[in-house]
Amino acid sequence: MFFRCVSVYPAPPEQFNLKMIPELRREFGTEVGLSDHSMGGAIACASVALGATAIEKHITLSKTAIDGHFALMPDEMKCFVDDVQTAWKSLVR
């Protein structure tokens, strides 16, 4: 499995180039996920629509932690997971 990743924290949407997800899948014949360093869940939902089968997202117990400014608190993570699952379900026939 490959993970599409932008190594900027937080990463701006225009740097993701999510169209690479289906290209990587075709080129290497493997599942492709997203290492999501963005704010919110929109990028992850878009990645699912393009074929991502796994999402990595930072979680924190404190917004003052090193990566806490863009990591999700547990309650935010639940909403994030719910949104990504809804996006996935919308694609299933």
Per-residue pLDDT tens over the stretch 46-75: 999 999 999 999 999 999 988 888 899 999
pLDDT category at 77 given cuts 50, 70, 90 is very high
Arithmetic mean of pLDDT over the chain: 93
Average pLDDT of span 16-41: 95
Give exposure, 14-49, as e/b (b: 16+ Cβ within 10 Å): eebebeebeebbeeeeeebbbbbbbebbebbbbbbe
Closest residue by Cα to residue 16 from 28, 24, 8? 8
* CA–CA distance, 68 with 32 (Å, rounded to integer): 26
Q: Delimit the domains of the chain by residue range.
A: 2-89
* CA–CA distance, 59 with 77 (Å, rounded to integer): 7
**In the predicted structure, residue 87 carries a pLDDT above the cut 80:** yes
